[in-house]
Amino acid sequence: MKPIRVCMLAAGFYPNLGGLERQAHKLGRELVQRGHSVCVLTRQNRGLPAEQTIDGIRVHRLRQWGKGRWLESVSYLAGALVWIIRNRRQIDILHAHQSYSPTTVAAVAGLLTGKRTLSKISATQELGERRELQRLPFGRMRRYLMTRIDRVVGVNPSVFEEFEDWGVRKERFQYIPNGVEIPEHSAYDRDAKAAARSCLNLEGDLFVIYTGRLSSEKGLEHLIQAWAQVVPEFSEARLFLLGSGGGDRDVEKDLKASVADLGLGSSVRFLGHVKNVEDYLVASDVFVLGSVSEGMSNALLEAMAAGLAIVASEIPAHREIIEDGVNACVFPYGNVEILTRKLKGLLADAQLRRTLGMAAREAAQTRFSMTAVTSRYESLYREILCVA
């Protein structure tokens, strides 16, 4: 089949390690391995070269004019449009990651050059892209340009409900979840778990883990409150928090203060950013994610792929991925009592942890593997381009 030449538009890209950047990098790498051509237009970061090839992906970092969100957006828009127009003969499709500046660029460039366009929307509900777009300047123009995109991809079906009343027609929507790489080893493999713990020099019997930003929407204050009730019964258990502050919703200092006030210092470890997240997942027993809002959590998918027993808040985005009692345990957001009960139940039952972990890993392999997700994008590209 004919290779496809994809130009991705993203505000940030690898080595930035946010969820959006990781998904764009993994998808681009998989597409390159399949023989397609991928370039990325992103914003310039201090200390990084303007032009770079990463895993076969040609990365072009566009210079910023001045400081501030407004100037950054305008300079990215102008720089990306000029680049696309100059290189339009080497592009088949424009793939925007997020509905902000990248989608504005894709829509305008599509109108000017006739290139086909796709926009991926990752965040929904209270902290979603729709709400943020309504607060940004030129809202009506952005709303109109969204209707000019050939396909709008949502990582969960609620995306479509939020954007349908903007005039984006149903036939332009496409559900494609985030993808995850399946690690070689799993948390329910005793030998693999023992090896990971030895490599990380971990001492203890039971490990509960959270990975991601230490941000207010993640419900971490509820986890700390629940943990204070878990520790008296499971004194050898340890809670690992991987990640650091969450920007304007940063709760890292507050969490550390709560841990100190509750006398939990010996049982809670703040590990910050680590490169070997997979090792910590395999070494752990339970993964917790108590968010109030998500698009599709990469951290949750990675925990599933590692075969961990999962405790997660019952929100729409999570219901698209996990099923209570089948491959996870769920609890109402903010309900510390039920969260505590779920944690205690899993820590006390090794067989239940294994059963849920095996089911979670199977779901990750069959529904959310990067291989399967890339195939869906590949098919969508060809559909949009009307090529075999």
pLDDT tens, residue by residue, 31-57 = 999 999 999 999 988 789 999 999 999
User: What pLDDT, on a 0 to 100 scale, did the predictor assign at position 132?
Assistant: 62
**Mean pLDDT of the 125-137 span:** 60
Predicted confidence band at 136 (pLDDT cuts at 50, 70, 90)?
Answer: low
At 73-103, the pLDDT tens digits run 788 889 999 999 999 999 999 999 987 789 9
User: What pLDDT, on a 0 to 100 scale, did the predictor assign at position 171?
Assistant: 87
User: What pLDDT, on a 0 to 100 scale, did the predictor assign at position 125?
Assistant: 56
User: What pLDDT, on a 0 to 100 scale, did the predictor assign at position 370?
Assistant: 95
**Mean pLDDT of the 194-206 span:** 93
Give the whole-angstrom CA distance, residue 174 versus residue 240. Answer: 36
The least confident of 22-26, 134-138, 231-235 is 134-138
Give the whole-angstrom CA distance, residue 292 versus residue 275. Answer: 26
**Mean pLDDT of the 309-324 span:** 94
User: What pLDDT, on a 0 to 100 scale, did the predictor assign at position 68?
Assistant: 63
Residue closest to 253 by CA, chosen among 274, 276, 224, 279: 224
User: What pLDDT, on a 0 to 100 scale, did the predictor assign at position 32?
Assistant: 98
Give the whole-angstrom CA distance, residue 194 versus residue 187. Answer: 9
Give the whole-angstrom CA distance, residue 132 versus residue 152. Answer: 17
Give the whole-angstrom CA distance, residue 175 versus residue 179. Answer: 12
**Mean pLDDT of the 59-72 span:** 78
User: What pLDDT, on a 0 to 100 scale, did the predictor assign at position 146?
Assistant: 82
Q: Enter the tokens of residue 48.
A: 């990084």
User: What pLDDT, on a 0 to 100 scale, did the predictor assign at position 46?
Assistant: 77
Predicted confidence band at 249 (pLDDT cuts at 50, 70, 90)?
Answer: confident
Length of the chain: 388
pLDDT over 80 at 176, yes or no: yes
User: What pLDDT, on a 0 to 100 scale, did the predictor assign at position 245?
Assistant: 78
**Mean pLDDT of the 317-344 span:** 96
**Mean pLDDT of the 144-167 span:** 81
Q: Are 50 and 70 in contact (CB under 8 A)?
A: no
Tell me the percentage of the chain whose pLDDT exceeds 70. Answer: 92
User: What pLDDT, on a 0 to 100 scale, did the predictor assign at position 134?
Assistant: 60
* Whether the model pTM is above 0.85: yes
pLDDT over 80 at 358, yes or no: yes
**Mean pLDDT of the 334-338 span:** 98
Q: Are 384 and 93 in contact (CB under 8 A)?
A: yes
**Mean pLDDT of the 169-190 span:** 93
Predicted confidence band at 147 (pLDDT cuts at 50, 70, 90)?
Answer: confident
What's the mean per-residue pLDDT of the chain? 91
pLDDT over 60 at 238, yes or no: yes
pLDDT over 80 at 350, yes or no: yes
**Mean pLDDT of the 283-300 span:** 94
Q: How much is the CA Rg of the chain, to the nearest whole Å?
A: 22
**Mean pLDDT of the 360-385 span:** 96
DSSP structure class, residue 295: S
Cis peptide before 232 (omega within 30 of 0): no
Q: Are 65 and 35 in contact (CB under 8 A)?
A: no
Give the whole-angstrom CA distance, residue 307 versus residue 303. Answer: 6
